A = this chain, B = another copy of it.
Amino acid sequence: MAEGITRRSEDFAQWYNDVVRRAELADYAPVRGCMAIRPYGYALWENIQRSLDRRFKETGHRNAYFPMFIPYSFIQKEAEHVEGFSPQLAVVTHGGGKKLEEPLVVRPTSEAIIGHFYSKWINSYRDLPLLINQWCNVVRWEMRPRLFLRTTEFLWQEGHTAHATAEEAEEEARRILDIYAEFAEREMAIPVIKGRKSESEKFPGALVSYTIEGMMGDRRALQMGTSHNLGQNFAKAFDIKYLDRENRLQYCWTTSWGVSTRLIGALIMVHGDDNGLILPPRLAPIQVIVVPIYKEEERTKVMEAVERVKGLLGDRVRWEVDDRDEYTAGWKFNEWELRGVPLRIEVGPRDVEAEQATLARRDVPGKEGKWAVPLEGLGEAVEQALGEIQEALFKRALAFREEHTHRPTTWEEFVEAVEDGFALIPWCGDAACEERIQEETKATNRCIPLEQEALPSGARCVHCGKPAVEWALFARAY
């Protein structure tokens, strides 16, 4: 157990906070609910951005930037939208020393302001599809903030697209959901369940909301990304129209989708342990930390070997050498474990003599995760080890989720199931039933999974006993 970090099994929430602070990922701001993302945390975000941005561009999306200030009247144009976001708004009433004629809202999301621009930019079918994404900050007033998971200001990307047909908009919303899921599983090493949100959980103003849901280390669910088919709701509210090939004026079909800095919270909660972070190699800012070990008289020869190690690693991986003299090797081991660096290379006098280096996996503690590698093959060995760590983290997270996912058939079993993790049940689809489940157990409808097995014949809702219409996933959630 690392110094200053509460045991994960003892108090998960406190463990989470301790890790975020001690690993210097983020810090609370003087304004309640806001945070500063420190360089190590931001480097994670940059890797997330780079990786997602490439996927968006490969599928034809381009980045742009829309104004942060939205006239209050714009937010009101879509009825569900204003109802959903009103309680969370930050409002600018004064600018340049004067009271403003109309108060401005700091964007909680940008459908309204982007709808305004799309109605100007889109004229004909030739302008479609319009596929735009933006990376920016948004503000949603937060009464119970948690670093990364729920903050008043956060960073995210929001994609906004306009299409000629309902089918194309639906395809887009699903394409992005697939990108999110592939990203989560391949890069973050977090298995996710793709699903549709229930009516009461969907985005205010959407026709359908899709989601990816992950299981965190405390067995609660986290919504990790959403993709919305907005139908023509926003096109009608903001007058987004195009002339089709037959010269008829038609409303567009739009989508929106986003992931946020919340994903950093997911990385921490899924992979971390009592010693701190464990970062998946593909997103780790530092993939390999090289720690020289020596007594004073051995310094020269060890540092020569370290130079050789640097050359062997080259551009293959993201590595750093911790050659600070003011700290002991043991202290450094703890420090880099806390920061979740996936692989450590130790270079000590015995390694030098044997022309080798010692590798230690962050995800496998003790001797079991430690082995010597001849220097000549170091580059390949390191790359291979990182690949294995990435895979092992995913497998472990998947096994954990499966262990804690249940299919209760009675209400008693359901109550137990959501105490332990996820409950997948035949469900009636009724919003009132959903609300009562939440009241009684604090578990919410996370999604209706896209992968649906056939329901048992005559299946009834585990809560209310009415005929079931589909499988639904319930869990306590962040």
A residues with CB within 8 A of B: 27, 29-31, 34-39, 41-43, 45-46, 62-71, 74, 86-97, 103-104, 106, 113, 116-117, 120-121, 126, 132, 136-137, 139, 141-143, 152-153, 155, 326
Q: Which residue of B lies closest to A86 (CB)?
A: B97
Closest to A104 in B: B31
B65 touches A37 (CB 8 A): yes
> A89: shortest Cβ distance to chain B, in Å?
8
Which of chain B's residues have a CB closer than 8 A to the CB of A36? 64-67, 113, 117
Are B126 and A326 within 8 A (Cβ)? yes
- CB-CB under 8 A from A88, the residues of chain B are 96
Contact: A43 with B67, CB < 8 Å? Answer: no
Establish whether residues B91 and A91, one from each chain, have CB atoms under 8 Å apart when the complex forms.
no
Q: How far is the CB of A247 from chain B (nearest CB, A)?
A: 14
* B117 & A69 in contact (Cβ 8 Å cutoff): no
* B residues in contact with A141, CB < 8 Å: 95-97
Residues of B close to A38: CB separation below 8 A = 64, 121
Q: Which residue of B lies closest to A69 (CB)?
A: B31
* A43→B42 CA distance, assembly (Å): 22
| C-alpha spacing A132/B120, complex, angstroms | 39
Greatest chain B CB density within 10 A among A42, A121, A132 is at A42
Contacts of A116 in B (CB 8 A): 30
A323 smallest CB distance to B (angstroms): 14
* Given known contacts A35-B67, A62-B39, A27 and B117 CB-to-CB distance under 8 angstroms: yes
Would A94 and B91 count as touching, CB distance under 8 A? yes
User: How many angstroms between the C-alpha atoms of A29 and B38 in the bound complex?
Assistant: 32
A42 in contact with B65 (CB, 8 Å): yes
Beyond A39-B132, A137-B137, A141-B95, whether A30 also contacts B65 by CB under 8 A is no
Query: Top 7 nearest A-B pairs by Cβ distance?
Result: A96-B141, A39-B62, A34-B67, A91-B94, A37-B65, A29-B67, A95-B141
Please state if B97 and A87 are interface contacts (CB–CB under 8 Å). Answer: yes
Q: Is B30 a contact partner of A137 (Cβ separation < 8 A)? A: no
Q: Could you pull out 20 A-B pairs where Cβ atoms are within 8 angstroms?
A: A29-B69, A30-B116, A31-B104, A34-B67, A34-B69, A35-B67, A36-B65, A39-B132, A42-B65, A68-B139, A69-B153, A87-B96, A89-B97, A90-B94, A90-B104, A92-B93, A92-B106, A93-B93, A94-B103, A137-B137
Distance from A84 Cβ to chain B, minimum over Cβ atoms (Å) = 13
Give complex CA distance A35, B69 in Å.
10
Interface contact A91-B93, CB-CB below 8 Å: yes
Nearest Cβ distance between residue A182 and chain B, in whole angstroms? 23
Assuming A43-B63, A155-B65, is B91 touching A30 (CB within 8 A)? Answer: no
Q: Do B92 and A30 have beta carbons less than 8 Å apart? A: no
Bound: A31/B46 CA distance, A: 30
Please determine whether B30 and A74 come into contact, CB atoms closer than 8 angstroms. yes
Q: Name the CB-closest residue of B to A327.
A: B126
Q: How far is the CB of A452 from chain B (nearest CB, A)?
A: 38
Chain B residues near A64 (CB, 8 Å)?
Answer: 36-39, 41-42
Partner of A30, one of B35, B45, B68, B71: B71
Q: How far is the CA of A30 from the CA of B238 in the complex (A)?
A: 13
